[in-house]
Amino acid sequence: MKMLVFGHGYSAGFLTPLLRARGWQVLGTTRNNPRRVASAGAEPVLWPGEEERLRSEIAAADAILVSAAPGPQGDPVLATFQDDLARARPRWLGYLSTTGVYGDRDGGWVTEDSPLDATGPRGQARIRAEGDWRALADRAGLPLHIFRLAGIYGPGRGPFEKVRNGTARRIIKPGQVFSRIHAQDIAQVLLASIDRPAPGRAYNLCDDDPAPPQDVLAHAAALLDLPPPPQVAFEDAEMTPMARSFYEDNKRVSNRRIKEELGVTLLYPDYRSGLDAILATEGGGGGSPHGLRARPVHDRGHE
């Protein structure tokens, strides 16, 4: 069996070993980091650069995963390979979207059947991309599955480095919560969908515990036996426009469908179990950063 991944980044790096353990061949596109793709066990393919090879691989793939974000001109995979995809006959096709498509719900719950009501440009671009993929799937008979990812975290993508070096701040916006998903749980959901294909279905990928971002930082500090980072009111916080935009959406995301339809039991059902596991894997204590890269743990979609 052959899997072709468009945009083989952080999330795909957790799926590839699971597929390889089953005997799959995995190919993943990259712009300029073939070593990272190869280190996960996939065969790197440069894109842009190897378009003709990719056309052949699309035709030969048993499964295709699209993890490339839309740009100003829309979805880059469709822009280049739409005709090739229309002729392909994979058993499974997955598109990684984001829970940002739901927009702001003032802290209320959303399911996969909730209206897509994003107001920001990134969320709107994702809605258009989902629609373009659905249109192609309907026209060409492709077995499309859409996965709406909450904020991704995992090894190398936790809050520990900022807590250790003293740059973390607990930004307080009353009532604000974010949903999250551990990268290993993303991988197991994708694998479960490959095992139980349901073309046309959409799935929310998140854990059981939508939580305020300041609680995540406080727990990370406690694990490191350090004092909690200082609090800063949202109105007074120095943030980039992109970081501030994440706080415009406030919602709780339901994950019932992945449990009931795909039989998934989350490895990390909340941020506490997820952060505990990251620290155990990468090394604990209040000393060196152990190579951790500080990344925000909130609803920012995926790479």
Percent of the chain with pLDDT over 90: 89
Mean pLDDT score across all residues of the chain: 93
| Each residue's pLDDT tens digit, 280-295 | 988 754 332 223 333 3
Domain extent for 248: 157-180+209-253+269-294
Residue 116 lies in a domain: yes
Is pLDDT at 149 greater than 90 in this prediction?
Answer: yes
Query: Band of the pLDDT at 301, cuts 50, 70, 90?
Result: very low
Residue 143 lies in a domain: yes
Residues 132 and 166 in one domain: no
Is pLDDT at 98 greater than 50 in this prediction?
Answer: yes
Report whether 216 contacts 275 (CB < 8 A). Answer: yes
Structural domain tally of the chain? 2
Residues 54 and 193 in one domain: yes
Strands (E), 111-230: 144-149, 151-153, 157-158, 170-172, 180-182, 202-205
Residue 63 lies in a domain: yes
Residues 216 and 68 in one domain: no
Is pLDDT at 296 greater than 50 in this prediction?
Answer: no
Residue 131 lies in a domain: yes
| Each residue's pLDDT tens digit, 237-275 | 999 998 999 999 999 999 999 999 999 999 999 999 999
List the single range of 190-194, 267-271, 277-281 with lowest mean pLDDT.
Answer: 277-281
Residues 196 and 69 in one domain: yes
Strands (E), 138-219: 144-149, 151-153, 157-158, 170-172, 180-182, 202-205
- Interval 144-151 mean pLDDT: 98
Residues 17 and 133 in one domain: yes
| The model's pTM | 0.93
What is the rounded distance in angstroms from the CA atom of residue 192 to the CA atom of residue 151?
20
CATH number at residue 137: 3.40.50.720
Residues 117 and 162 in one domain: no
- Interval 229-235 mean pLDDT: 97
Q: Compute CA distances 160 → 85, 113, 129, whole Å.
A: 41, 35, 34
* DSSP string computed for 21-58: HTT-EEEEEESS-HHHHHHTTPEEEETTT-HHHHHHHH
Residue 260 lies in a domain: no
What is the rounded distance in angstroms from the CA atom of residue 107 to the CA atom of residue 166?
30
Residues 7 and 121 in one domain: yes
Residues 187 and 290 in one domain: no
pLDDT of residue 84: 98
- Interval 137-149 mean pLDDT: 98
Is pLDDT at 302 greater than 90 in this prediction?
Answer: no
pLDDT of residue 297: 38
How much is the CA Rg of the chain, to the nearest whole Å? 19
Residues 171 and 98 in one domain: no
Is pLDDT at 6 greater than 80 in this prediction?
Answer: yes
Query: Band of the pLDDT at 298, cuts 50, 70, 90?
Result: very low
Q: Which residues does residue 280 pair with via DSSP β-bridges, in sequence order?
A: none
Residue 107 lies in a domain: yes
- Interval 80-108 mean pLDDT: 98
